[in-house]
Structure 1
Amino acid sequence: MSELSLTWPWALAGLLVVPVLVVLYKRGLRAQEARRAALAADGLVMRAPPRSRWRHLGAALLLAALTVLVLSLTRPVASVAEPHREGTVVLAFDVSGSMAATDVKPSRLEAAKAAARAFVAKQPPSVRIAVVAFGGTGLVTQRPTDDRAAVLAAVARLKPSGDTSLSDGILGGLSAIVGKPVKPPGDTEQGAGSGTSEETPIGYHGGTAIVLLTDGEDTTDVAPSGAAELASAAGVRIEPIGLGTPAGTTIQVDGFSIATALDETSLRAVAETTGGTYRRASDAASLTAVYDSIELQWTTRTVPHEVTSWVAALAGLLLLGGATVSVLRQGRVI
């Protein structure tokens, strides 16, 4: 449905000429008939043939053209509901040491960064993007913005090191969406031993998603289930992307060889809790395809469009039609 408004409604005063023209047209017809009747009585012309119900068609079309032309002078604006994608997407990168593994070339983290750049380039301006880096803690490195250069700069700065906390990665994504730090569910606000705890009120944020880019190896004792439930209650969908291979590989950390492999169990549970979809990216090409499959919210917004040219074009068609009919019937336009 579209709504019509007029930029210059005062131009409607021009419609006052329409009834005047109708009166003049009828008066002209009566005068013409009277003159023809007088000439017929003197035998100078034949009596008028039977009247056709289409004899006023040309005049009616010309009058309609004038009416529509006056309407075009008001500069009508149609408000049309247009579908578009909007919302906020948080790219939450696991930057733990295991993301330096090369079972995804050139490395898990570098492949994720390359695909992220392609993903950012494809998003419309109505989609805001944030960047979160999480290892042992979650850090918002770029708040939600439509500045693509700022997002790409934040992605470029990411480097692997440290441990992995999936819970902190999710909470970091929620913090970026909410605009303030989000604490874990049941986190104590009054200090140790107070016996009281409060959950951070974060509200509802439909149309948002956290893309969790990680190998799933959680090195903490805090399960991500609580943070996932908090995200679900806030209407935030989590789309985990598993980086690496189940077979895994080894990395060198401080001279030690450490085995690392993709752990999908927690990632599948997080996706199921929030209504997202877990996807595995075993190489750079599949990672790019995974990014492309992420669905953002479609909504509609009312956009005003001036339709003066369309209305004027309709007036021109009516004018052409009226002139054609008049010339065919009586050899002249008026």
Structure 2
Amino acid sequence: MTLTSDPSPTVEAPSPGTVSSRPKLFAGLSGQNISLVGALVLVLVLFGVLNDNYLSLSNMQVIAEAATITGLLALVQTVVIICGGLDISVGSQAGVASVVSAMVFTSTGSNALLGMVVAVAVGLLVGVLNGLIIVYGRVNPTIATLAGLAAYKGLAQLLSNGRAQGYVLNDDVFVFLGRGKIAGLPVTVWILLVVAVTVHLLLRYTDIGRNIYAIGGNDTAARLAGININKYLVFVYALIGVVAAVAGILLTARTGSGQPTSGSEGLELKAITAAALGGAALKGGKGGIGGTLLAVALLGALENGLTVQGINSFWQNVAQGALLVVAVVIQQRRGGERAVGLPS
């Protein structure tokens, strides 16, 4: 797939300062990111006072490891939101990849690399399928991926008969991915950081990234400038499929088996919440990887704090829903949107 446009000028994103004025991942923190840092510090201090072990190094590593799968999905969710779309099926895609990686591993005589390659290929296929349905079927991204949420969840259950598949913790590769460390940090955290830096560089320093911002900001202007919007949309959803597959592989490595639904349930809500909290405008054209990572850290710290305090896990869903509403309200207010049904 060639992601090049006609040799006409590239459309810049609606807010140039957002696209190109910050050369580093967290340089020049925006007001929203400063708010996220403040909220994260508040959560850490609060639960640190309530539980002596909360701020221990071992618990910080637990928080980081638990947040990696959500973080991977939130990163690519940020990209698709910037492009003016949405993907509600990322959790189900991760579940399919998790099952496939484990089933191929066990059926080929414990070939971990083959299982991972097949899982990534399935993720790419699923992502491209989503993109084609949206582009050529002219289906709204929310509806298309909502259908994908159900379909891919059902596919994972059909492949696995609704049960966890295989056992991978007798394999060095899976054990290294799920439990290994490099320079004191879990391998899963390194994978998240590598993907985050890669996506950041793609968005900030390439024509592909600038055109993604332009499509989300004003697709009509982008089309008139010669940008092939269809190809970009298929590319973005393909990227989601690949990264969701990586998340599914890490889920398999962490849990020791392929998980059709139990490990991937609710990941789409977490990913969308983190992207919105991080500043990705749901109307498209605005967002960044730094804010998303801060939001992922905040969600992870909050979820862990509620858990160590023995608070009912259902309250975690309540907190996530409340944070999503707060993020959208802040976006609407900052964008000058009038209240629905009320005079401007």
Which band: TM-score by shorter chain? under 0.3
Bigger relative contact order, structure 1 or 2 (CA pairs below 8 A, ≥6 apart): 2
Which has more helix, going by share of residues?
A: 2
- Structure showing greater radius of gyration is 1
Which has more strand, going by share of residues?
A: 1
